[in-house]
Amino acid sequence: MFHVDHGADGTIKLIGRLDASQSEKAKVVFENITESITIDLKELDYISSLGLGILFSTQIRLKETGHALKLVHMNDHIRDVFKYTSFDKMFEIE
């Protein structure tokens, strides 16, 4: 399963598996982001193309107003997926 937590430090934490059956949950959260924010992926085990598309669209929209998503604590598998799609060039990743 997948869920989203809002950290006390202002970050958004993605937790679990963001597959196609869970993407609507993520979409609702990301559609409401209007300013730069850190997305903590420490507990995100899995992401597929629909989830990537949501991050992509949000980043494009935010950059139009001078804002951006920053991604932290990405696991190695997800890092590979970002590399294969060149998304690693679109985001600040720590």
Q: Can you read off the two tokens belonging to residue 26?
A: 């993520």
Asked whether position 57 contacts another protein by CB under 8 A, the answer is: yes
Residues 11, 39: contact at Cβ < 8 Å? yes
Piece of 3-11, 12-20, 29-37, 65-73 that binds another protein (CB under 8 A):
12-20
Query: 66 pairs with which residues across the strands?
Result: none
Name the amino acid, one letter, at 73: H
Using CA atoms, how far apart are residues 82 and 89, in angstroms rounded to an integer?
Answer: 9
Single-letter amino acid, residue 59: Q
Interaction between residue 21 and another protein (CB under 8 A): yes
Instruction: Choose which of 50, 68, 72, 93 interacts with another protein (CB under 8 A).
Output: 50
Residues that bind another protein in the complex, under the rule CB under 8 A: 17, 19-21, 46, 48-50, 52-53, 56-57, 60, 77, 81, 84-86, 89-90
